[in-house]
Chain A
Amino acid sequence: METRHKILVLDDDADWLALCREQFSALPSHPEVLTARDAKRALALLETEKIRLLVSDLKMPRIDGLQMLAIVRRRFPATRTVVLSGMEDEEYRSRAYALGVDLFWLKTELQRNIQMFNECLESLLGQLDREGGDTGFRGVQSKSLMDIVQMECLARTSTVLRITRGPLVAKLWIQEGELIDAECEGARGEAAFGRLLAWKTGTFENLPAEPERERTIQKPVNTLLLETAQTLDETAHPSAEPDSVESNLHRQTMWKLAQLTREGADFVVVVPLAGGEPEAMGTQSVGPLADWARRAAEVARRLGERLEAGPLSHIAGQAADRQILMLVREDRAFLVGWPADALENLPEKSRKLVASWES
């Protein structure tokens, strides 16, 4: 007799649980869906039932999702874990993956990508079938992206690697061990792959393969890895020849300008808070804007301390002809100017621009 997999959904919202039950029961493998509204009940079910997959929220009363996942990882290592949360902060994604979670998905993205999410769940359940439930290793730590790509290609897998670094998201399409396409920071193909390999940290997840994806990368992955490594090495240790230095600076300037144009920002001013020359693009008023940014950072620090309001997320300003948004990263402030009529999520767009600028 065919046994049905059991999925346990943990969330404190009853309506959400009902929706998940309906949704997951309709998966092609027809799993049995159990639900729990708190961690205590979920742990009881994990003890008594053979749960293959736990889908958990992060924000819950008493034991929160991260604590719960740590317990499950320790006590039920064979259970696959998926986080389905409304917390958009990238820190939660990183912390969840650090706990060995198999998949992190935002509730806000669920409606848009329900098909892909279902495929991921099926894929996780399928893996269990192939692996006999409790075999195989999980977790890749202290490995560079080059290592990860090489591993996937050597294993001749078909997958989509989704790599996240702060607010930046990139994707690599691997089909039967061949790298066929890449997307990163607005670039596609080999340029995107080169850009992506410059990332030093991040998290990755495997999404189901997309065999229909158009091929934009023709070179073998090893050649591409070698070429990219060489380029990165040249960038990290630039030749002392004036022509080479100038060419590198020119390339960096062009890249930053392209980022600015692509996002639709008017200018960026990078201000070292401890003093020093600001770096800017797209504005002539570098000095006065840098002075304002330093003063604003100081005012925000004072206010934050005095009111015990927690860390500063950002400062937004509205002028007659433009909007400005300031982010503080360690010892630097990034002041981004936007057109007055820009309506999209400016903090998020600014974070992306700054992350891209810093990389």
Chain B
Amino acid sequence: MGILKRLFGTPATVQQLPAGTVTVDRQGQVVTSTVSSVIPVALLESVGRDVLELFREARAAQSPLAEVSLHFVSLRITARELRGGAIIFLFPQSATFTTQKTAHP
């Protein structure tokens, strides 16, 4: 028993993309979240810290940003600055087919 598993290994796991809204304070600690509890809080906090860094660096560059969006192929992260912290929206992207459907009359 288990010889097939030993031969072929366990199947690769697919990480679920986070979806929902997170608010973080100025230290990047999660204040509220609607993201599934499957996603570790530490991961959300690291996203929060990265986003706050972008706002901070933009201020340092004399070009303060009210909103920043990172568009990845499968995920969009939109963040708005919020009294030192930020509100972060995580939208998984359902690939390229929206255009195709809307093109239909």
Contacts and interface: CB of A to CB of B under 8 A. Distances in A.
Interface of A: 13, 15-16, 19, 57, 59, 85-89, 106-108, 110-111, 285, 288-289, 291-292, 295-296, 299-300, 302-304, 306-320, 322, 324, 347
Contacts of B69: 315-317
Nearest to A316: B69
Contact of B103 (A110, A289, A307, A320): A110
B17 interface: yes
A107 B47 contact: no
B104 A288 contact: no
Interface string B73-103: 1110100000000000000000011011111
Nearest to B77: A303
B104 A312 contact: no
Contacts of B63: 285, 288-289, 292, 319, 322, 324
Interface in B38-82: 43, 46-47, 50-51, 53-54, 57-58, 60-75, 77
- Please report whether the interface of chain A is mostly helix, strand, loop or mixed according to DSSP: mixed
Contacts of A306: 43, 46-47
A80 to B, nearest CB: 23
Given A309-B73, A319-B66, A111 B105 contact: yes
Contacts of A85: 100
- Please report whether the interface of chain B is mostly helix, strand, loop or mixed according to DSSP: mixed
24 contacts: A19-B105, A59-B97, A85-B100, A86-B100, A86-B102, A87-B100, A106-B103, A107-B103, A111-B105, A288-B62, A292-B54, A292-B60, A295-B54, A299-B54, A309-B17, A310-B74, A310-B75, A311-B72, A312-B70, A315-B71, A316-B68, A317-B58, A318-B66, A319-B65
B15 interface: yes
Given A291-B57, A319-B64, 18 more contacts: A57-B100, A89-B96, A107-B100, A285-B61, A292-B58, A292-B61, A292-B63, A295-B57, A299-B53, A303-B70, A307-B75, A310-B73, A311-B73, A313-B72, A315-B70, A317-B58, A317-B69, A318-B65
Complex A-B, nearest 9 residue pairs according to Cβ-Cβ distance, in ascending order: A86-B100, A310-B73, A288-B61, A107-B103, A309-B72, A309-B75, A318-B67, A313-B71, A292-B61
B28 interface: no
Contacts of A324: 63, 65
A43 B53 CA distance: 54
A320 B73 contact: no
Given A108-B99, A289-B61, A296-B57, A314 B43 contact: no
A86 B101 contact: yes
A20 B62 CA distance: 54
Contacts of A320: 64, 66
A291 B58 CA distance: 9
- The winner among A57, A111, A302, A307 for most chain B CB atoms within 10 A is A307
Contacts of B103: 86, 106-108, 110
B104 A15 contact: yes
